[in-house]
Amino acid sequence: MAQVLEFKLPDLGEGLTEAEIVRWLVEVGDVVAIDQPVVEVETAKAMVEVPCPYGGVVTARFGEEGAELPVGAPLLTVAVGSTSPGTGREAAGPAPEPASGTGPEPAGESSGNVLVGYGTGAPAARRRRVRPTPVTAAPAVARSAPAPASVPAATPVADPAPAAEETRGPVAVVSPLVRKLAREHGLDLRQITGTGRDGLILRTDVESAIKGDAGRSATAAAPVAGPVAEAAGERVPLRGVRGAVADKLARSRREIPDATCWVDADATELMAARAAMNGAGGGAAAPKVSVLALLARICTAALARFPELNATVDAEAREIVRLPEIHLGFAAQTERGLVVPVVRGAHARNVESMGAEISRLTEAGRAGKLTPADLTGGTFTLNNYGVFGVDGSTPIINHPEAAMLGVGRIVPKPWVHEGQLAVRQVVQLSLTFDHRVCDGGTAGGFLRYVADCVEQPAVLLRTL
């Protein structure tokens, strides 16, 4: 007799509490192997393929593509221990109640692993999906009639109603986030037409109702007290990467007493040194040394002299934690928004190694393939906003780090050089630091050392 097991969205690690369904990799009726990826989700950190720890026939999927689910919400159900899809003998009978994915599992039908961020041990290559031939291969979902193979997903059972409006009748809602959004804006879910499969109400349906889009949904209840969009105006949900950035920046401003100092530096010699390094052998195919790689190497040398800035503050213990290794983050703008990949072990890298890792992470960011591990664990951040054509800025510290160095564009400007007015390549450097970890003397010393290395790269030779 087949047993239907429920697979829930697992803990994705790094404190992530929700994820958005980007693409389903299986459909109802598919036969899946143990640890086969079944859905691709996007978190605030990265894109992740989620493997299912059970092997069997998919009987239901929960959540449409584009829906946002919290950790612990049902993803799909799998009939484990059924007969071969070719016979359809057990699949034709009534389906058993779905069992919790955390309970005992049939021997040999589960990997016994729970994904935390990266999968349950499936190989890197995606296993090919296998579809059964008979239409009766998939058992019926509990509490519902058997679903024909032409129906892509069974109607999910609404979770227990957390508010009064859900007790007045059945509403096709899966996500608690959708319910919360409706409650906050005084909307009756029964008055909203769902555009998802089988009438499932999606977040976009609720947002359309808030904006009064009669073409897609209608609102009924009067607005509750609080900010409600009464006039025309676009509302952009703070979720995914944008939401994570907003939360981190707001927390930084709330918790860190930051201060900023800045200095202009003559980068003419640094640019000349870079040109000489790129022209010294290796041919046209050799990797070129980037300005960012040089600045990153200068940062690690400066942090070795001023370790107070490679730290974090444990507010509960009232302690400054100075970190033994430098994991250097660098801000990068991608189609998904601002991300901060981390060059791990930056203190042990030379310019060439630093540049290669920065290039690898940048390409992964552009392709949307950065993992949570690539985006976490930084101890200091370098922000080159000069690529946007601006001279200066006041960086906001990447919480829970203690400092961030900002670099403006390098442009020709009038400069007094060796007592004479000349046109030189000038850059503005800005350092924002947590005033709890050090005083202005330490921050000024760090920034002055960075400026000296920019103006006289020979200062850095003994550490390269």
Helix, strand, coil shares, percent, the chain, to 5: 25, 25, 50
Largest CA distance in the chain: 93
**Residues 27, 95 contacting (CB under 8 angstroms):** no
Partners of 40 in beta bridges: 23, 49
> What is the distance between the alpha carbons of residues 464 and 457, in angstroms, rounded to a whole number?
10
Q: How far apart are the first and last CA of the chain?
A: 67
Per DSSP, which regions of 149-188 are E strands?
Answer: none
Give residue 132's identity as a one-letter amino acid code: P
The residue among 84, 94, 199, 98 whose CA lies nearest residue 147 is 94
**Residues 371, 46 contacting (CB under 8 angstroms):** yes
- Letter string b/e over residues 68-105, b meaning 16 or more CB atoms within 10 A of that residue's CB: bbeeebbbbbbbbbbeebeebebbeeebeebbebeeeb
Query: Which residues touch 297 (CB under 8 Å, ≥6 apart)?
Result: 349, 350, 351, 354, 460, 464
Neighbours of 124 (CB within 10 A): 5
> What is the distance between the alpha carbons of residues 432 and 406, in angstroms, rounded to a whole number?
8
Place of tokens 């990799």: 25
- The distance of Cα 18 from the centroid of its chain, to the nearest Å, equals 10
**What are the backbone dihedrals phi and psi of residue 280, each rounded to the nearest 5 degrees, phi first?**
-95, 80
Token pair recorded at residue 197: 């499969």
Active site residue 185: no
Query: Which residues touch 77 (CB under 8 Å, ≥6 apart)?
Result: 4, 5, 6, 7, 58, 59, 60, 98, 141
Catalytic site residue from 185, 327, 399, 435: 435
User: Is it true that the peptide bond before 324 is cis, omega within 30 degrees of 0?
Assistant: no
Query: Which residues are identified as catalytic?
Result: 435
